[in-house]
Amino acid sequence: MEEQRLDRSGRVLAAALAGLALSACEREERVMRRDPPVVAALDEAALLPGGVGGAEPLAHVALGKPYETNAYEIAQGKRLYAAMNCAGCHGDGSGGVGPSLIDGWWAYGADLPSLYATIRDGRPRGMPPYRQKLPPDSIWQLAGYVQTLASYSAKTAAPGRDDAPQTRPAENRAPATQAPLEPPAR
């Protein structure tokens, strides 16, 4: 009789331990990174309050320009550039259906807020808007990477190494600073 009680209490204990072990196997609940309030406000703010030649949005300056100087953000932009098939229109250096992004002559501005506005809202005659396809943070990352293509940003935060054969120097091999480009003589 006592053996049955021990056997039964052993089973109860084993079942309790198994239940405890199974409850410990539950996946960790993750909280997705939320944009700081100032980043979320950038999507709703006028990007160029003074017009095309106006000052940068104060919110962008307050963030410390993380999308221009952070290697991770630029690398994510490079990944998005490939994933969204930007090279399908802009080519890998020589242009395509859309204008080349490495020549440095951009009709709507080369500063980060202008690039963000171009990607987010699109442009006449071909550039579709990506407002509905990408969240604001991804658009900023993509704009930060596109800015590196024409050497408009410091190369100290270049994306990861690219060992594939290059037709032009990889992003991380350009000089850290570069003089402003001059328009071509006509």
Q: For the chain, how many residues are written?
A: 186
pTM of the entire structure?
A: 0.53
Q: How sure is the predictor about 31, in pLDDT bands with cuts at 50, 70 and 90?
A: low
pLDDT value at residue 40: 53
For the chain, list the domains and their CATH numbers.
Answer: 37-162 (1.10.760.10)
Question: In this structure, which amino acid lies at residue 21?
Answer: A
Q: How sure is the predictor about 73, in pLDDT bands with cuts at 50, 70 and 90?
A: confident
Separation of alpha carbons 41 and 60, rounded Å: 10
Per residue in 133-185, pLDDT tens?
998 889 989 988 888 887 665 555 555 555 444 555 555 555 555 555 566 66
Residue 25 has pLDDT above 70, yes or no: no
Per residue in 82-118, pLDDT tens?
999 888 888 776 667 888 887 777 788 888 888 888 8
pLDDT value at residue 133: 92
Structure tokens at 67: 């999308």
Residues 17-38 have a mean pLDDT of: 64
Residue 49 has pLDDT above 70, yes or no: no
Separation of alpha carbons 102 and 90, rounded Å: 9
pLDDT value at residue 99: 82
Residues 119-125 have a mean pLDDT of: 86
pLDDT value at residue 151: 66
Q: What do you get for the CA distance between the two ends of the chain, in Å? A: 106
What is the residue-averaged pLDDT of the chain?
Answer: 70
CB within 8 Å of 43: residues ≥ 6 apart: 120, 136
Residue 72 has pLDDT above 80, yes or no: yes
pLDDT value at residue 105: 76
